[in-house]
Structure 1
Amino acid sequence: MGDCGNGYHGKHLKAAIDYIKNEEKTDGGRLVGGINCQPDFAYDKMKNTKVKFGKIDKRQAYHFIISFEEDNIDDDTAFKITERFAKEYIGDDYEVIFSVHNNTKHKHGHIIFNSVNIKNGKKYRYEKGDWAKYIQPLTNSLCKEYGLSTIDINYDTKEKDERYKEWNTYRDGKFVWKDMVIRDVDSCILQASTYDTFLEMLKEKGYKIKQGKYMAVLMPGMKKYIRLDKIGDEYTRENIIKRIINESIADYKSDKVNSEPKIIYCRFKRYRRAKLTGIQKKYFAKLYRTGKLKKRAYSQAWKYRGEIRKMHKLHEQFSLLSKYGITSITELTEARNVLDDRRKSINRKISAVRRAEKAAKNLFETVDVIKELAESENCYVRGDEFFKEEHEKYTQLISEISSQGYTVEEIINLKEYYKSQYVKLRNKLKDVRKELRIADNLIKEENEKPIRQVEDKKEERGIDNRDRQPKK
């Protein structure tokens, strides 16, 4: 299983793991297991091992498939054979996830294991011929033990079992004729209007056709004819005729789904501004001394900082007076007292919410523990006895909550309600405190106003007296 590039090295690995864990193919997830990792966290565990040893690129993992004869094995036996193969061949040096798919005519086991050793960080190395020398013999040995058919492997002659050769070809990524034949036959069915036209179109593609009891075709490059009915039930002569009548290209046009574009990976390079050379520095210094290069003026905003603060203060005071329609010092005092009573009322409500939260603290803590045990409970439900202790604790906590007349959802909603009420009250309290502070400042300024007026008059008299004195 190869690397997917710099943007997402483990894309193919994650997709493969998700595929073999598919609940529809594994009896609801029952036929899934793991070695050195839990199946639900297999990808993350493998990724962490790669990061730990600094080997996140190139080959990500290896994927083996064990296929069994049709109607020759039950699900549990297939799962045991797959598990034993993983333990005996791979051992405990790698993270392994394995499963059995029972949704097809031929049950088959999938085994995916990390390419990086969890103990020493070395990568698994597959040598040419290992499949025939070690892997297939082990598979045959396990199948014999359970009374199943095996594949005969002869290393000295070329007369190897045809199923083994085809599978070995597929595993090595070489061309498989069957896939090409299916593609061509489907294409001719869609385009043909009659069965005779279908045969003519196949011949135009270079196929040779045998029509006896069964229909067989030979494609250029193939050594043996392949029977179409062996590919699948939909390729018998009768079903091909039905498909020619019922199917058309329009039935296979996929709907285009417009998805929002997104950036997967972006690479950019930063360029530092080049430093001035010695002669450039002398040149700019001369321009500055001669006045041809002006120095950038500094901002003068600091001079008006005090005036800006004063403007904001006056705006807040005007907003308060306008909001409550205050026109006199008496009305301002009354408004201030109302704001103070409102502040005390909000504080009492906040205290009530806090007391309610404290009373329900044990319930909240119990729900938090239940959330932590949820993943373990899911694994136990799917048949993993390793989490039996967590299951018993999970059941006990659910019973405790039920005995008090609550459900997990009700407690979660209650906690969210208390949290939202506290935030709402705190925001109200913040606004009231601000208005209260503005009102106190206005009252203070109004009380100090007569004193300022007296001081201003004294200062004016002193200036007048100095002006009347004769100059020497």
Structure 2
Amino acid sequence: MAVCEIWDVKGRLDHPIDYAENPEKTANPKYTDADLQAMGDVMKYATNGDKTERQFFVTGVNCDPATARDEMMIAKAQWNDQSEIVCYHGFQSFKAGEVTPEQAHEVGVKLAEKMWGGRFQVIVATHLNTECLHNHFVVNSVSYVDGKHYHDNKKNLRLLRQRSDELCREYSLSVIEHPSGRKKPYVLYQAEKNGLPTRDSVARQAVDEAISKSFTLKDFDRQLAEMGYCINFDPNRKYWTIIGKGWQRPKRLYKLGDDYTNERITERIRENSYAVKFQSFSKEQPQVRVIKVKGTLKATKKIGGLRGLYLHYCYKLGILPKKKQQNYARLHYLLKDDLMKMDAITNEARLLCRCHIDTAEQLLSYKDSLESEMQELTEQRKGLYSQSRKSVGEEKEAVKARLSEITERMETLRKEVRLCDGVLARSDTLKEKLQTIRADEKEQKGKELMKHEHRRRSGRANRKDELGGI
């Protein structure tokens, strides 16, 4: 399974690097230093020795890797190219453990030759520093043959992915059979990268748990319903769908991964056995250390207000206590909506606890103090900027150091102000959600009590007659 993407590189860079030692040989007055730096930076990243095993897996198509940047700039100068796009940077990523570095690089070089080899200069570099081996492509934006530009459009992207799939099949590698056609939202990508639970990961957790406890599709449906999900097995539909409480629309199960297709789910349920599983009645209990504390907790003051609200919500989300293994699949549907906001909620809770803020008035007062300090620092910084222009030597360095301290402090203050705004905007919503959750839990508890009472009474039916007959 290879995933392909490509994007343009323009002449702007936040962290410029030193480019070729003798830029006059290929200098083009139409291009600025930033353009050259952009191309040099993307090539340095793609051919990074730490990622490519001392550049063993680096190949040039229509150019020499050692002088590729200079050759590309010569082609631009030859055709008097004035475009702001200096090159294109693409990648081809393989499924973890599916290919060797040699195979990955060979596939990448063949893909570059098929896609751009007839007209463009390309650097192909295979990175080995992650679990998923992947190729990087640096493609000159202008053809060295006819001076025409490569166009990064939907048609060429489809062609790139099509040729990549053809090569994967040729090398007996897996291919994505159901491409979504959409890029994953950046927020979702970042959440998965940082290990935060998302709607998809929680749904997978729910499906996995339901499968582990099911012997039939009816069992599977019932288990998911207990976790707040509804599944559609409609035979008139090609794909099964799942929808959680609070979702706007259903999701096709196969989009959760290869283990969640109709056939695979059915197969996983069939693998469960009806056989009785025997286990020991009692497990060896770990030794518990008992600590005796003098005094009583009766007089202890409970934390209330905003602090209490956030701490209780963090407990419901599973953030507290620490190291607690939370089953996100069985969370209330209102809590599931905030799983991707766990970092923001945690930081807001820390602010409230650190500053002992319990009321909105205390929060507004704290925010005003932050803004006043920011205003004072802004005025100081203006004066220091003026002083810096007039001073020299050690005095100038001291002014710069002070400016750096002020800038760092202002960045911290801005973050605190944003957290205060977040608490003001979120606190009422959290309160309403907790009230709804308590009401639902109370209703559910009442239903369970009625069910147990019904079973108890059913078990005692006809007992008097039975005793009388003995």
Q: What's the TM-score, normalizing by structure 1? A: 0.37
More helix by percentage: 1
Q: What's the TM-score, normalizing by structure 2? A: 0.37
Higher relative contact order, chain-length normalized (CA < 8 Å, sep 6+) = 2
